[in-house]
Amino acid sequence: MSIELNARIPEGPIERKWERAKFEMKLVNPANKRKHSVIVVGSGLAGASAAATMSELGYRVKCFCFQDSPRRAHSIAAQGGINAAKNYQNDGDSVFRLFYDTVKGGDFRAREANVYRLAEISVQIIDQAVAQGVPFAREYGGLLDNRSFGGAQVSRTFYARGQTGQQLLLGAYQALEKEINAGGVTMFPRTEMLDLVVVDGRARGIITRNLVTGAVESHAADAVVLASGGYGNVFFLSTNAKGSNCTAIWRAHKRGAAFANPCYTQIHPTCIPVSGDHQSKLTLMSESLRNDGRVWVPKQKGDQRPPNQIPVEERDYYLERRYPSFGNLVPRDVASRNAKEQCDSGHGVGPGGYGVYLDFRDAISRLGEARIRERYGNLFEMYQRITDEDPYHVPMRIYPAVHYTMGGLWVDYNLMSTIPGLHVIGEANFSDHGANRLGASALMQGLADGYFVIPLTIGNYLAQGGLTPVTEEHPAFAVARAGVEARTARLLATRGSRTVDSFHRELGQLMWNKCGMARTAEGLREALDEIPRLREQYWRDVNVPGSGDSLNQSLEKAGRVADHFELAELMCRDALHREESCGGHFRVEHQTPDGEALRDDEAFAYVAAWEHRGDDAEPVLHREPLAFEQVHLTQRSYK
């Protein structure tokens, strides 16, 4: 089976494409919707909003999450806000500007039509969230408040204190619970998808493991929607939740879904630095902190003085110096790379020199401590809890950390993967952020996909017909289930000498060093050499205690890490093939004389979609060319 990448972008001018697509879509008669079943894997912003909305339309939905409740999904941790082209601030924002900023912020590696639709829908998301009771910040007049966010020169970000992701997720979660109560959605918490079932070339179901009883179960449906999030945990240390994993999309990839741009990972600039070997995850602080905080390092290398004793003339406010017009508000990839450069050149601060200062001294003296407390109080508290340092008096120390993966399963304009019937939404797909995501855009994309795109496009797929009746009794389910059971049994039977976490840490360190913020051909080749060796050792020497027929957290981790190994290899392969620098993908060999990312639009203005050809075969690269008709390809400049 060979893959054909057809993006199915509607004809016509960009501002009419979505309208046209909606009109041309085949519709399912309201009475017939009840006859169709849809599986949704994941219950974050994308999954919960999709499941709820599809149920409202009348489809029978089964929704799965590995946590104990859909409300735990990691969307909940997004702090800063959600973008929308409302132009409530009258500062010149528009759908086109949000579209333009997103394409440019993504370093011209996103599909224009998708991004334009995202910008269009952004407006409806805010309305929907407000109607659901999301308590967005308000001005005294009772109207919605906005703030500016990294990479944008307009104030278009809506927020709910520092908990915007939580509040938007709870809105979607409540809509989901409403539909569960109404009987349209059946929820399966503490259940993990372990394989995709393809029948006659179409996605017709999944194999799951009940994480409490260990039971391996089959679920058949007319279509499958993956909303399982990103794969940042390949790096072990990331800002993702501990449970976040790539298993759902990786299993689908192995069943035939192309994986697009796996090397595009976003490193977030404002995270709390690592404190020791015990570190289990990294904590992000909203980049809204950069609105008032100033980033600096000591001019003198290895300066050990406490920060408050370093006079202003001996501080290098390097972002303000290098990017006078955007200053501390440059996009995430630029801010992260600059921090790394400062640390690599010996200017870093804190343990091991892995940190730069984010200083609020000037903002506090200008606005007063009370105003700063009002804006960032919860973030300051969180920082103090973790580091035991008081950021009102001592500058914060920050360091970049893996945060978001722009890559994911390849999807067409209708969010369908290369397997008919398999749709992918939210962070799990590759579609809208190109090579770098702008702040406050992840929430926007998850909800746009879930509330407004997939509920329509799934109907288009189902209405085209050709779906033969398939139940869990179909032989394909038995085969897939046997595969899952054999894999579980093998992990449990190995009883080697090393724990799952020790392997995961080693893989993460390797990926961070070789496929992290700065990548070289040599390093990537080394990684491609080492990962298979480590993976082979993993399957030979991993120690998974306990049994498969009860709650076994080691076993859960073991399966996920096994998939991380395989994806890590594909990430390195993709990073090696992309002989250019763009957004979050920085190849040291390809940079401008002053150290900025140097794209090669002639050779690489395409989406790299990888096809799995079996465990022992090399993956095959397919290219979806990107055409830029609205936004002119330029080198990004934030100077």
- Stated as kind and residue range, the H or E segment containing 610 is strand 606-611
**Rule CB under 8 A: is residue 69 a binding residue for other proteins?**
yes
Rounded alpha-carbon distances, angstroms, from residue 46 to 76, 228, 306, 557: 12, 9, 45, 24
111 is catalytic: no
Question: Between residues 286 and 414, which has the closer beta carbon with respect to other proteins?
Answer: 286
502 binds other proteins (CB under 8 A): yes
Contact 161, 81 (CB under 8 A): no
> x-or-dash pattern for other proteins, window 454-493, by CB under 8 A?
-x--------------------------------------
Site for other proteins (CB under 8 A): which residue of 30, 276, 306, 311? Answer: 276
The correct pick among 19, 127, 344, 522 for binding other proteins (CB under 8 A) is 127
Q: Is 371 in the site for other proteins (CB under 8 A)?
A: no
Q: Based on the shown chain and the rule CB under 8 A, indicate whether residue 379 belongs to the binding site for other proteins.
A: no
Q: Is 352 in the site for other proteins (CB under 8 A)?
A: no
Residues between 140 and 169 that touch other proteins (CB under 8 A): 140-144, 160-161, 163, 166-167
Quick check: 74 binds other proteins (CB under 8 A)? Answer: yes
Residue 173 C-beta: closest distance to other proteins, Å: 8
Q: Spell out the residues 6+ positions from residue 88 whose beta carbon is closer than 8 angstroms to its own.
A: 143, 144, 146
Taking CB under 8 A as the criterion, the residue among 3, 154, 226, 284 binding other proteins is 284
Coil, strand or helix: which one is 550?
A: coil
By CB under 8 A, residue 451 contacts other proteins: yes
The yes or no reply on residue 68 touching other proteins (CB under 8 A) is: yes
| Distance of alpha carbon 193 from alpha carbon 209, whole angstroms | 7
If binding is defined by CB under 8 A, does position 126 make contact with other proteins? yes
Stretch that binds other proteins, among 67-75, 220-228, 261-269, 471-479 (CB under 8 A): 67-75
Quote the Cα angle for 217-49-215, to 5°: 10
Catalytic residue among 332, 481, 599, 636: 332
- Closest to other proteins by CB, 82 or 372: 82
CA–CA separation, 253 vs 419, rounded Å? 9
CB of 402 to other proteins, least distance (A): 15
Task: Give the binding range for other proteins (CB under 8 A) out of 22-30, 278-286, 353-361, 472-480.
Answer: 278-286
- Alpha carbon distance 397, 393 (integer Å): 12
Rounded distance between C-alpha atoms, residue 104 and residue 145, angstroms: 25
CA atoms of 253 and 270, how far apart (whole Å): 32
Window 178 to 197, contacts with other proteins (CB under 8 A):
178, 180-181, 187, 189
The answer for residues whose C-beta is within 8 angstroms of residue 514's C-beta and 6 or more apart is: 523, 524, 526, 527, 572
Q: Is 10 left (phi over 0), alpha (psi -120 to 50) or beta?
A: beta
Q: Which is nearer to other proteins, 275 or 637 (CB)?
A: 275
How many whole angstroms separate alpha carbon 90 and alpha carbon 93? 7
Contact residue for other proteins among 7, 41, 45, 52 (CB under 8 A): 52
Residues 207-246 that bind other proteins (CB under 8 A): 212, 239, 241-243
Distance in Å, CB of 17 to other proteins, minimum: 19
In the complex, minimum distance from the CB of residue 135 to other proteins, in angstroms, rounded to a whole number: 4
**544 or 626, CB closer to other proteins?**
544
**What is the C-alpha separation between 37 and 62, in angstroms, rounded?**
8
CA dist 411 → 99, 159, 404, 490 (Å): 19, 29, 18, 33
Touching other proteins, residues 579-618 (CB under 8 A) = none
Q: How many residues bind other proteins (CB under 8 A)?
A: 83
DSSP for 197-247? EEETTEEEEEEEEETTT--EEEEE-SEEEE-----GGGGSSSSS-TT--SH
With H, G, I as helix, E, B as strand and everything else as coil, classify residue 281. coil
Q: Is residue 536 classed exposed, middle or buried when 0-12, 13-18 and 19+ CB atoms within 10 A define those classes?
A: exposed
Helix (H, G, I), strand (E, B) or coil at 551: coil
Position among 153, 543, 591, 630 found at the interface with other proteins (CB under 8 A):
543
Residue 173 touching other proteins (CB under 8 A): yes
Task: Please report, as residue ranges, which positions from 89 to 118 form the binding site for other proteins (by CB under 8 A).
Answer: none
**Residues in the chain, overall count:** 639
Choose one: 101-109, 200-208, 276-284, 314-322; the region binding other proteins (CB under 8 A): 276-284
Q: What is the separation of C-alpha 76 from the centre of its chain, rounded to a whole number of angstroms?
A: 13
Only one of the segments 172-180, 413-421, 425-433, 457-465 lies at the binding site for other proteins (rule: CB under 8 A); that segment is 172-180
Number of H helices, E strands in the chain: 18, 21
Which of residues 210 and 630 has its CB atom nearest to other proteins in the complex?
Answer: 210
From 36, 51, 53, 193, residue interacting with other proteins (rule: CB under 8 A): 53
Active site residues: 332
